[in-house]
Chain A
Amino acid sequence: MKRLLATALAASLAFAAWAAARNVDPAKSTLVATFKQMNVPVDAPFRQFKGSIDYDAAHVADAKASIEVQTGSFDIGEADYNNEVRKPAWFDSARFPTASFVSTAIKPDGSGFEATGTLTIKGKAQTIKVPVKATSVAGGTAFDGTLKVSRAYFGIGDAEWNDVVDDDVTVRFHIVQTP
Protein backbone atom coordinates (compact mmCIF):
# COMPACT_ATOMS: atom_id res chain seq x y z
CA MET A 1 0.00 0.00 0.00
CA LYS A 2 2.78 2.34 1.03
CA ARG A 3 4.67 1.54 -2.14
CA LEU A 4 1.59 2.14 -4.24
CA LEU A 5 1.10 5.54 -2.65
CA ALA A 6 4.74 6.42 -3.20
CA THR A 7 4.49 5.41 -6.84
CA ALA A 8 1.34 7.49 -7.30
CA LEU A 9 3.00 10.45 -5.64
CA ALA A 10 6.12 10.12 -7.77
CA ALA A 11 3.98 9.84 -10.89
CA SER A 12 2.00 12.96 -10.06
CA LEU A 13 5.18 14.88 -9.27
CA ALA A 14 6.69 13.76 -12.55
CA PHE A 15 3.55 14.90 -14.33
CA ALA A 16 3.71 18.26 -12.63
CA ALA A 17 7.35 18.67 -13.64
CA TRP A 18 6.53 17.63 -17.17
CA ALA A 19 3.95 20.39 -17.49
CA ALA A 20 4.42 23.07 -20.15
CA ALA A 21 6.38 26.30 -20.02
CA ARG A 22 6.33 28.26 -16.80
CA ASN A 23 7.08 31.90 -16.36
CA VAL A 24 10.17 33.33 -14.77
CA ASP A 25 9.49 34.50 -11.21
CA PRO A 26 10.74 38.10 -11.15
CA ALA A 27 10.74 38.25 -7.36
CA LYS A 28 13.18 35.38 -7.01
CA SER A 29 15.27 35.74 -10.15
CA THR A 30 18.28 38.01 -10.62
CA LEU A 31 20.22 39.15 -13.64
CA VAL A 32 23.41 41.02 -12.81
CA ALA A 33 26.03 42.40 -15.18
CA THR A 34 29.54 42.96 -13.86
CA PHE A 35 31.70 45.40 -15.79
CA LYS A 36 35.08 46.90 -15.02
CA GLN A 37 35.79 50.62 -15.09
CA MET A 38 39.40 51.62 -14.36
CA ASN A 39 39.75 47.97 -13.31
CA VAL A 40 37.07 48.43 -10.64
CA PRO A 41 34.47 45.65 -10.84
CA VAL A 42 30.95 47.08 -10.63
CA ASP A 43 27.86 44.89 -10.20
CA ALA A 44 24.71 46.26 -11.75
CA PRO A 45 21.37 44.43 -11.94
CA PHE A 46 18.70 44.55 -14.60
CA ARG A 47 15.58 45.26 -12.57
CA GLN A 48 13.01 44.20 -15.13
CA PHE A 49 12.96 41.06 -17.22
CA LYS A 50 10.50 38.31 -18.01
CA GLY A 51 10.56 35.00 -19.74
CA SER A 52 9.34 31.46 -19.83
CA ILE A 53 11.10 28.20 -19.30
CA ASP A 54 9.88 24.79 -20.35
CA TYR A 55 11.95 22.33 -18.38
CA ASP A 56 11.49 18.73 -17.35
CA ALA A 57 14.36 17.14 -15.45
CA ALA A 58 13.50 13.83 -17.11
CA HIS A 59 13.64 15.26 -20.63
CA VAL A 60 16.29 17.96 -20.44
CA ALA A 61 17.05 17.92 -24.15
CA ASP A 62 13.49 19.08 -24.87
CA ALA A 63 13.83 22.14 -22.65
CA LYS A 64 13.20 25.60 -24.04
CA ALA A 65 13.94 29.00 -22.62
CA SER A 66 13.29 32.56 -23.62
CA ILE A 67 14.18 35.65 -21.62
CA GLU A 68 13.39 39.26 -22.43
CA VAL A 69 15.22 42.02 -20.58
CA GLN A 70 14.28 45.71 -20.34
CA THR A 71 17.54 47.50 -21.16
CA GLY A 72 16.22 50.66 -19.49
CA SER A 73 16.10 48.84 -16.16
CA PHE A 74 19.89 48.49 -15.91
CA ASP A 75 20.69 49.95 -12.50
CA ILE A 76 24.27 51.00 -11.79
CA GLY A 77 23.19 52.66 -8.58
CA GLU A 78 23.24 56.33 -9.52
CA ALA A 79 20.85 58.32 -11.69
CA ASP A 80 23.70 59.94 -13.68
CA TYR A 81 25.19 56.61 -14.69
CA ASN A 82 21.78 55.10 -15.38
CA ASN A 83 20.83 57.96 -17.69
CA GLU A 84 24.17 57.60 -19.46
CA VAL A 85 23.80 53.89 -20.28
CA ARG A 86 20.33 54.40 -21.75
CA LYS A 87 21.75 56.81 -24.35
CA PRO A 88 22.22 55.86 -28.04
CA ALA A 89 25.95 55.19 -27.56
CA TRP A 90 25.14 52.47 -25.03
CA PHE A 91 21.89 50.48 -24.89
CA ASP A 92 19.90 53.03 -26.90
CA SER A 93 16.93 52.05 -24.81
CA ALA A 94 14.57 54.34 -26.69
CA ARG A 95 15.12 52.43 -29.96
CA PHE A 96 15.95 49.04 -28.45
CA PRO A 97 13.93 48.73 -25.25
CA THR A 98 14.60 45.00 -24.92
CA ALA A 99 17.42 42.50 -25.18
CA SER A 100 16.64 38.81 -25.42
CA PHE A 101 17.87 35.29 -25.27
CA VAL A 102 15.99 32.48 -27.02
CA SER A 103 17.29 28.93 -26.80
CA THR A 104 17.68 26.85 -29.94
CA ALA A 105 19.21 23.66 -28.56
CA ILE A 106 19.73 22.14 -25.12
CA LYS A 107 22.36 19.53 -24.41
CA PRO A 108 22.22 17.73 -21.02
CA ASP A 109 25.49 18.03 -19.15
CA GLY A 110 26.08 16.79 -15.60
CA SER A 111 23.81 18.55 -13.13
CA GLY A 112 22.55 20.91 -15.81
CA PHE A 113 22.82 21.51 -19.50
CA GLU A 114 24.46 23.57 -22.16
CA ALA A 115 22.04 26.00 -23.72
CA THR A 116 22.68 27.16 -27.26
CA GLY A 117 20.65 30.13 -28.34
CA THR A 118 20.43 33.56 -29.83
CA LEU A 119 21.39 36.56 -27.76
CA THR A 120 20.02 39.78 -29.21
CA ILE A 121 21.13 43.16 -27.88
CA LYS A 122 20.62 46.49 -29.60
CA GLY A 123 19.18 44.73 -32.63
CA LYS A 124 22.28 42.61 -33.16
CA ALA A 125 22.13 38.83 -32.77
CA GLN A 126 24.84 36.44 -31.66
CA THR A 127 24.69 32.67 -31.23
CA ILE A 128 26.02 31.77 -27.79
CA LYS A 129 26.49 28.64 -25.72
CA VAL A 130 25.93 28.90 -21.98
CA PRO A 131 26.52 26.21 -19.36
CA VAL A 132 23.56 26.20 -16.99
CA LYS A 133 23.26 24.52 -13.63
CA ALA A 134 19.77 23.33 -12.71
CA THR A 135 18.81 23.02 -9.05
CA SER A 136 15.51 21.88 -7.57
CA VAL A 137 13.99 24.54 -5.34
CA ALA A 138 10.62 24.75 -3.60
CA GLY A 139 7.97 24.84 -6.31
CA GLY A 140 10.24 24.39 -9.30
CA THR A 141 13.73 24.66 -10.65
CA ALA A 142 16.42 27.34 -10.41
CA PHE A 143 18.84 27.91 -13.27
CA ASP A 144 22.24 29.45 -12.68
CA GLY A 145 24.90 30.44 -15.12
CA THR A 146 27.33 33.04 -16.34
CA LEU A 147 28.03 34.38 -19.79
CA LYS A 148 30.58 36.79 -21.18
CA VAL A 149 29.41 39.54 -23.46
CA SER A 150 31.59 41.78 -25.58
CA ARG A 151 30.32 45.37 -25.57
CA ALA A 152 32.08 46.06 -28.85
CA TYR A 153 30.25 43.23 -30.63
CA PHE A 154 26.87 44.74 -29.80
CA GLY A 155 28.01 48.33 -30.12
CA ILE A 156 27.44 49.19 -26.47
CA GLY A 157 29.56 52.18 -25.48
CA ASP A 158 31.71 54.42 -27.67
CA ALA A 159 35.44 54.91 -28.20
CA GLU A 160 35.72 57.64 -25.59
CA TRP A 161 34.34 55.37 -22.87
CA ASN A 162 36.20 52.26 -24.04
CA ASP A 163 39.27 53.92 -22.58
CA VAL A 164 37.97 53.45 -19.04
CA VAL A 165 35.46 50.60 -19.33
CA ASP A 166 36.56 47.04 -20.22
CA ASP A 167 35.03 45.41 -23.27
CA ASP A 168 34.19 42.20 -21.45
CA VAL A 169 31.02 42.19 -19.38
CA THR A 170 30.07 39.19 -17.28
CA VAL A 171 26.38 38.49 -16.93
CA ARG A 172 25.31 36.29 -14.03
CA PHE A 173 21.80 34.91 -13.96
CA HIS A 174 19.75 33.14 -11.36
CA ILE A 175 16.42 32.29 -12.93
CA VAL A 176 13.63 30.73 -10.88
CA GLN A 177 10.34 29.51 -12.35
CA THR A 178 7.04 30.57 -10.87
CA PRO A 179 5.50 27.71 -8.86
Chain B
Amino acid sequence: MSLSPDRYTRTAIALHWLIAGLIVCAFALGMVMTDLAMSPQKLKFFAWHKWLGITVLGLSAIRAAWRLLHAAPTPVAMPAWQRQASTFTHLFLYALLFLVPLSGWTYSSASGYPVVYLGLVQLPDLVAKDKVLAESLMELHETLAWLLCALFVVHVAAALKHHLIDRDDTLRRMLPWRSSRGSTENAV
Protein backbone atom coordinates (compact mmCIF):
# COMPACT_ATOMS: atom_id res chain seq x y z
CA MET B 1 0.00 0.00 0.00
CA SER B 2 1.58 3.21 -1.15
CA LEU B 3 1.35 6.39 0.89
CA SER B 4 -1.42 8.80 -0.11
CA PRO B 5 0.02 11.49 -2.36
CA ASP B 6 -0.71 15.17 -1.75
CA ARG B 7 -2.49 15.55 -5.08
CA TYR B 8 -4.22 13.52 -7.75
CA THR B 9 -2.14 11.90 -10.50
CA ARG B 10 -1.72 13.80 -13.74
CA THR B 11 -3.86 11.21 -15.53
CA ALA B 12 -6.66 11.55 -12.98
CA ILE B 13 -6.51 15.35 -13.26
CA ALA B 14 -6.60 15.25 -17.07
CA LEU B 15 -9.53 12.84 -17.11
CA HIS B 16 -11.41 14.88 -14.50
CA TRP B 17 -11.29 18.14 -16.44
CA LEU B 18 -11.73 16.53 -19.85
CA ILE B 19 -14.85 14.65 -18.74
CA ALA B 20 -16.17 17.77 -16.98
CA GLY B 21 -15.76 19.82 -20.17
CA LEU B 22 -17.40 17.16 -22.33
CA ILE B 23 -20.34 16.89 -19.93
CA VAL B 24 -20.91 20.66 -20.00
CA CYS B 25 -20.93 20.55 -23.83
CA ALA B 26 -23.22 17.51 -23.96
CA PHE B 27 -25.61 19.05 -21.44
CA ALA B 28 -25.76 22.39 -23.27
CA LEU B 29 -26.24 20.63 -26.61
CA GLY B 30 -28.96 18.48 -25.08
CA MET B 31 -30.82 21.56 -23.85
CA VAL B 32 -30.57 23.33 -27.21
CA MET B 33 -31.25 20.42 -29.56
CA THR B 34 -34.47 19.27 -27.89
CA ASP B 35 -35.99 22.74 -28.36
CA LEU B 36 -35.02 23.00 -32.04
CA ALA B 37 -37.64 22.61 -34.73
CA MET B 38 -37.11 19.72 -37.14
CA SER B 39 -34.07 20.59 -39.26
CA PRO B 40 -30.79 19.08 -40.49
CA GLN B 41 -29.11 21.08 -37.72
CA LYS B 42 -31.19 19.25 -35.15
CA LEU B 43 -30.07 15.86 -36.48
CA LYS B 44 -26.44 17.00 -36.37
CA PHE B 45 -26.79 18.20 -32.78
CA PHE B 46 -28.36 14.89 -31.78
CA ALA B 47 -25.48 13.00 -33.41
CA TRP B 48 -22.85 15.19 -31.69
CA HIS B 49 -24.66 14.87 -28.37
CA LYS B 50 -24.51 11.07 -28.67
CA TRP B 51 -20.82 11.12 -29.65
CA LEU B 52 -20.05 13.28 -26.61
CA GLY B 53 -22.03 10.93 -24.36
CA ILE B 54 -20.25 7.83 -25.62
CA THR B 55 -16.89 9.59 -25.18
CA VAL B 56 -17.83 10.45 -21.58
CA LEU B 57 -18.84 6.82 -21.02
CA GLY B 58 -15.54 5.48 -22.36
CA LEU B 59 -13.37 7.99 -20.53
CA SER B 60 -15.32 7.37 -17.31
CA ALA B 61 -14.59 3.66 -17.55
CA ILE B 62 -10.87 4.45 -17.87
CA ARG B 63 -11.14 6.95 -15.05
CA ALA B 64 -12.92 4.56 -12.67
CA ALA B 65 -10.33 1.87 -13.38
CA TRP B 66 -7.52 4.39 -12.81
CA ARG B 67 -9.10 5.54 -9.54
CA LEU B 68 -9.28 1.93 -8.28
CA LEU B 69 -5.58 1.43 -9.04
CA HIS B 70 -4.29 4.80 -7.75
CA ALA B 71 -4.95 6.11 -4.28
CA ALA B 72 -6.62 9.51 -3.98
CA PRO B 73 -4.87 12.15 -1.85
CA THR B 74 -5.61 12.15 1.86
CA PRO B 75 -8.65 14.35 2.48
CA VAL B 76 -7.97 17.66 4.15
CA ALA B 77 -9.22 17.99 7.72
CA MET B 78 -12.96 18.60 7.90
CA PRO B 79 -15.98 17.65 10.04
CA ALA B 80 -17.19 14.06 9.69
CA TRP B 81 -20.51 15.07 8.10
CA GLN B 82 -18.63 16.88 5.36
CA ARG B 83 -16.46 13.80 4.77
CA GLN B 84 -19.57 11.67 4.46
CA ALA B 85 -21.30 14.18 2.21
CA SER B 86 -18.19 14.30 0.02
CA THR B 87 -17.94 10.51 -0.26
CA PHE B 88 -21.65 10.25 -1.07
CA THR B 89 -21.51 13.01 -3.68
CA HIS B 90 -18.47 11.52 -5.38
CA LEU B 91 -19.96 8.02 -5.51
CA PHE B 92 -23.22 9.43 -6.87
CA LEU B 93 -21.33 11.48 -9.47
CA TYR B 94 -19.36 8.42 -10.54
CA ALA B 95 -22.58 6.41 -10.90
CA LEU B 96 -24.13 9.16 -13.04
CA LEU B 97 -21.06 9.36 -15.30
CA PHE B 98 -22.15 5.89 -16.41
CA LEU B 99 -25.92 6.03 -15.98
CA VAL B 100 -26.55 9.22 -17.95
CA PRO B 101 -24.78 8.06 -21.16
CA LEU B 102 -26.10 4.49 -20.80
CA SER B 103 -29.70 5.70 -20.41
CA GLY B 104 -29.22 7.92 -23.49
CA TRP B 105 -27.78 5.07 -25.52
CA THR B 106 -30.65 2.77 -24.46
CA TYR B 107 -33.16 5.51 -25.32
CA SER B 108 -31.60 5.86 -28.77
CA SER B 109 -31.80 2.09 -29.33
CA ALA B 110 -35.43 1.95 -28.20
CA SER B 111 -36.28 4.81 -30.55
CA GLY B 112 -34.94 2.78 -33.48
CA TYR B 113 -31.84 4.92 -34.04
CA PRO B 114 -28.60 3.04 -33.51
CA VAL B 115 -25.70 5.07 -32.16
CA VAL B 116 -22.96 5.41 -34.79
CA TYR B 117 -19.96 6.74 -32.87
CA LEU B 118 -18.35 9.66 -34.75
CA GLY B 119 -20.36 8.54 -37.77
CA LEU B 120 -17.90 5.67 -38.12
CA VAL B 121 -18.60 2.82 -35.73
CA GLN B 122 -22.10 1.48 -35.24
CA LEU B 123 -22.60 0.47 -31.62
CA PRO B 124 -24.86 -2.46 -30.75
CA ASP B 125 -28.46 -1.68 -29.80
CA LEU B 126 -28.98 -2.18 -26.07
CA VAL B 127 -32.72 -2.87 -26.49
CA ALA B 128 -35.04 -3.54 -29.42
CA LYS B 129 -37.12 -0.73 -30.95
CA ASP B 130 -40.04 -0.04 -28.63
CA LYS B 131 -41.89 3.26 -28.71
CA VAL B 132 -43.42 3.02 -25.22
CA LEU B 133 -40.10 2.02 -23.66
CA ALA B 134 -38.40 4.85 -25.58
CA GLU B 135 -40.65 7.44 -23.95
CA SER B 136 -39.88 6.16 -20.44
CA LEU B 137 -36.16 6.06 -21.23
CA MET B 138 -36.28 9.61 -22.54
CA GLU B 139 -37.72 10.75 -19.20
CA LEU B 140 -35.19 8.66 -17.29
CA HIS B 141 -32.30 10.10 -19.31
CA GLU B 142 -33.58 13.64 -18.73
CA THR B 143 -34.10 13.10 -14.99
CA LEU B 144 -30.63 11.58 -14.56
CA ALA B 145 -29.09 14.45 -16.52
CA TRP B 146 -30.77 17.01 -14.24
CA LEU B 147 -29.63 15.02 -11.21
CA LEU B 148 -26.08 15.15 -12.58
CA CYS B 149 -26.50 18.88 -13.09
CA ALA B 150 -27.63 19.33 -9.46
CA LEU B 151 -24.71 17.28 -8.11
CA PHE B 152 -22.37 19.18 -10.39
CA VAL B 153 -23.52 22.41 -8.75
CA VAL B 154 -23.02 20.92 -5.25
CA HIS B 155 -19.59 19.61 -6.29
CA VAL B 156 -18.45 22.99 -7.67
CA ALA B 157 -19.92 24.89 -4.71
CA ALA B 158 -18.11 22.63 -2.23
CA ALA B 159 -14.81 22.94 -4.12
CA LEU B 160 -15.12 26.74 -4.17
CA LYS B 161 -16.09 26.82 -0.49
CA HIS B 162 -12.95 24.82 0.39
CA HIS B 163 -10.83 27.04 -1.83
CA LEU B 164 -12.18 30.49 -1.00
CA ILE B 165 -13.57 30.17 2.52
CA ASP B 166 -11.66 27.31 4.18
CA ARG B 167 -8.60 28.19 2.09
CA ASP B 168 -7.47 24.56 2.05
CA ASP B 169 -5.89 22.37 -0.67
CA THR B 170 -9.04 20.49 -1.73
CA LEU B 171 -9.36 22.19 -5.14
CA ARG B 172 -5.62 22.65 -5.68
CA ARG B 173 -5.07 18.88 -5.59
CA MET B 174 -7.17 18.61 -8.73
CA LEU B 175 -5.84 21.67 -10.57
CA PRO B 176 -3.76 20.96 -13.69
CA TRP B 177 -1.02 23.32 -12.53
CA ARG B 178 0.99 22.76 -9.36
CA SER B 179 0.40 25.47 -6.77
CA SER B 180 -0.22 23.83 -3.45
CA ARG B 181 -0.46 26.34 -0.63
CA GLY B 182 1.48 23.90 1.57
CA SER B 183 4.34 23.46 -0.92
CA THR B 184 4.59 27.21 -1.48
CA GLU B 185 5.01 27.69 2.26
CA ASN B 186 7.64 24.93 2.31
CA ALA B 187 9.52 26.67 -0.48
CA VAL B 188 9.46 29.91 1.47
* Chain A residues engaging chain B, CB cutoff 8 angstroms: 37-43, 77-78, 80-81, 83-84, 160-161, 163-165
**Can you give 21 A-B contacts (C-beta < 8 A)?**
A38-B43, A38-B46, A38-B116, A38-B119, A39-B116, A39-B119, A39-B120, A40-B122, A42-B112, A77-B129, A77-B131, A78-B111, A80-B38, A81-B38, A83-B38, A84-B38, A160-B40, A161-B40, A163-B40, A164-B40, A165-B40
CB-nearest residue of chain B to A161: B40
CB-nearest residue of chain A to B43: A164
Residues of A within 8 A of B46 (CB): 38
Q: Is the interface of B mostly helix, strand, loop or mixed?
A: loop
Residues of B within 8 A of A39 (CB): 116, 119-120
Residues of B within 8 A of A42 (CB): 112-113
Q: Tell me, in angstroms, the Cα distance from A15 to B47 when the chains sit together.
A: 56
Contact in complex: B47, A77 (CB < 8 Å): no
From 1 to 51 in chain B, residues with beta carbon under 8 angstroms from any chain A beta carbon are 38-40, 43-44, 46-47
Q: How far is the CB of B101 from chain A (nearest CB, A)?
A: 17
Q: Tell me, in angstroms, the Cα distance from A121 to B111 when the chains sit together.
A: 28
Contact with A along B96-134 (1 / 0, CB 8 A): 000000000000000111111001101000000101000
Given A80-B38, A81-B38, residue A37 in contact with residue B43 (CB < 8 A): yes
What is the number of contacts between chain A and chain B, taking CB atoms within 8 Å? 38
Contact in complex: B131, A164 (CB < 8 Å): no
Q: Tell me, in angstroms, the Cα distance from A165 to B42 when the chains sit together.
A: 12
CB-nearest residue of chain B to A159: B40
Residues of A within 8 A of B114 (CB): 40-41
Contact in complex: A38, B44 (CB < 8 Å): yes
Residues of B within 8 A of A164 (CB): 40, 43-44
Residues of B within 8 A of A41 (CB): 114, 122
CB-nearest residue of chain A to B115: A40
7 nearest A-B pairs in the assembled complex, by CB-CB distance:
A38-B47, A39-B119, A164-B40, A80-B38, A39-B116, A40-B116, A164-B43
Q: How many residues of B contact A (CB 8 A)?
A: 18
* Chain B residues engaging chain A, CB cutoff 8 angstroms: 38-40, 43-44, 46-47, 111-116, 119-120, 122, 129, 131
Q: Tell me, in angstroms, the Cα distance from A104 to B112 when the chains sit together.
A: 36
Q: Tell me, in angstroms, the Cα distance from A80 to B38 when the chains sit together.
A: 7
Q: Tell me, in angstroms, the Cα distance from A64 to B84 when the chains sit together.
A: 77
Q: Tell me, in angstroms, the Cα distance from A84 to B43 when the chains sit together.
A: 13
Residues of A within 8 A of B115 (CB): 40
Contact in complex: A40, B38 (CB < 8 Å): no
Q: Output the residue of A40, A41, A78, A164 with the most chain B CB within 10 A.
A: A40
Q: Tell me, in angstroms, the Cα distance from A160 to B129 when the chains sit together.
A: 28
Q: How far is the CB of A39 from chain B (nearest CB, A)?
A: 4
Residues of B within 8 A of A165 (CB): 40
Q: How far is the CB of B107 from chain A (nearest CB, A)?
A: 13
Residues of B within 8 A of A160 (CB): 39-40
Residues of A within 8 A of B113 (CB): 40, 42
